[in-house]
């Protein structure tokens, strides 16, 4: 039986990952890896086809600069369901995935029929990945079966598209609740049928609630993924989202993933950053590593 979460120990261990020394060559590799794991996202009321096309261009070519070896594209572009078709056309043939927030993002409080239709329409439009939000009100009220059933129904509605389950950890109140929600989400998704590696992710946040991703929260979620892997051999993905703004922070997260889950998770099929503002700082650090000086902020387009 799992022991209750020791908050002090989790916070101490999470802090320890920020003290690792990273050599120059490893740092260069880590920065490029972090870039390849980013989900560029635009989720604003003023989103337009033009803005999405611009974001897709940046996703494919993060920096308009000749650099060797060439920079990787990011992992995905995440948009509202109504803009999935625009993103799909703009990213065609690039290898960059189209993700869409559905299920009444960001509250998750819409009627279930509306949330499921949201998913179905996004998938029909071409979404490769669906980022759903759980009903935190139901979870905090102790209605675990209701939350699990909704996750299961969303996974069925996804068809062949991958599912990322947003816990909105900033509203879950305790690390123990984060662990319970992580276990519930993984098992609810698995209840609908076998999971291949990377088909299901758990994700910290919508980015609309503070605090968003933190290292202690992410560590608890990584440990839930580790325990599920040790039990079943299935690799669940992880996505911290919101609040990760610097390349230095991203490298700390990668150290934590490596030491908690191992090298198998150090790729965009199993780990993502939901942090558009992170992109340009990673590019500035890559520039510094390559040339010895920082590029100006205006050298990069807005993420």
Task: pLDDT tens for the chain, 303 residues: list them.
Answer: 899 999 999 999 999 999 998 888 899 999 999 999 999 999 999 999 999 999 999 999 999 887 888 999 999 999 999 999 999 999 999 999 999 999 899 998 899 999 999 999 999 999 999 999 999 999 999 999 999 999 999 999 999 999 999 999 999 999 999 999 999 999 999 999 999 999 999 999 999 998 999 999 999 999 999 999 999 999 999 999 999 999 999 999 999 999 999 999 999 999 999 988 899 999 999 988 877 777 766 667 776
Q: Show the domains of the chain with their CATH numbers.
A: 7-17+24-299 (3.20.20.70)
Going 106 to 78 to 273 to 266, the CA torsion angle's sign is positive
203 is catalytic: yes
**Residue 245 is inside which H or E element, if any?**
none
How are the residues of the chain apportioned to helix, strand and coil, as percentages rounded to the nearest 5? 50, 10, 40
124 is catalytic: no
Instruction: Return the residue matching tokens 């803009």.
Output: 83
287 sits in which H/E element: helix 278-291
- Alpha helix segments (H runs only) across 92-208: 112-124, 136-140, 144-158, 175-190
Q: How far is CA 72 from CA 29, 35, 36, 231, 276, in A?
A: 11, 7, 6, 34, 15
Residue 200 CB partners (closer than 8 Å, separation 6+): 155, 162, 163, 164, 165, 186, 189, 190, 236, 237
Catalytic residue among 58, 88, 164, 203: 203
Q: What is the pLDDT of residue 190?
A: 98
Catalytic residue, from 39, 118, 128, 131: name it: 131
Under 8 Å between Cβ of 71 and 36: no
Distance separating alpha carbons of residues 55 and 75, to the nearest angstrom = 13
Name 124's Cβ contacts closer than 8 Å, sequence gap at least 6. none
Catalytic residue among 58, 164, 239, 281: 239
pTM score, two decimals? 0.95
Residue 46 CB coordination number (10 Å): 6
Q: What residue has token string 């990069």? A: 300
Of the candidates 142, 195, 143, the one whose C-alpha atom is nearest the C-alpha of residue 165 is 195
Q: Which of 252, 250, 260, 289 is nearest to 19 (CA)?
A: 252
Asked if 126 contacts 89 with a C-beta cutoff of 8 angstroms, the reply is no
């Amino acid at each position: 039986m799992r022991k209750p979460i020791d908050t002090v120990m989790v916070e101490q261990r999470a802090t320890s990952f920020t003290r690792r020394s990273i050599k120059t060559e490893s740092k260069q590799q880590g920065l490029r890896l972090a870039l390849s794991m980013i989900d560029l996202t635009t989720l604003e009321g003023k989103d337009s086809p033009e803005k999405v096309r611009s974001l897709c261009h940046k996703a494919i070519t993060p920096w308009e600069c000749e650099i060797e070896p060439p920079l990787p594209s990011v992992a995905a572009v995440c948009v509202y369901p109504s803009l999935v078709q625009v993103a799909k056309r703009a990213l065609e043939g690039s290898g960059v995935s189209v993700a869409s927030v559905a299920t009444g993002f960001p509250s998750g409080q819409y009627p279930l029929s509306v949330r499921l239709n949201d998913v179905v329409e996004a998938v029909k439009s071409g979404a490769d990945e669906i980022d759903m939000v759980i009903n935190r009100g139901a979870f905090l009220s102790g209605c675990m079966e209701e939350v699990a059933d909704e996750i299961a129904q969303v996974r069925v509605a996804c068809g062949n598209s991958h599912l990322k389950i947003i816990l909105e950890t900033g509203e879950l109140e305790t690390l123990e609740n984060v662990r319970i929600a992580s276990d519930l989400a993984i098992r609810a998704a698995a209840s609908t049928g076998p999971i291949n590696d990377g088909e299901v992710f758990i994700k910290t946040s919508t980015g609309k609630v503070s605090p968003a991703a933190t290292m202690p929260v992410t560590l608890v979620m990584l440990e839930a993924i580790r325990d599920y892997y040790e039990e079943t051999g299935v690799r669940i993905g992880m996505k911290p989202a919101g609040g990760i703004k610097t390349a230095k922070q991203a490298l700390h997260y990668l150290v934590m993933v490596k030491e908690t889950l191992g090298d198998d998770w150090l790729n965009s099929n199993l780990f993502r950053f939901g942090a558009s503002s992170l992109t340009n700082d990673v590019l500035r650090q890559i520039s510094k590593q390559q040339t010895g000086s920082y590029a100006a902020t205006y050298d990069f387009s807005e993420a």
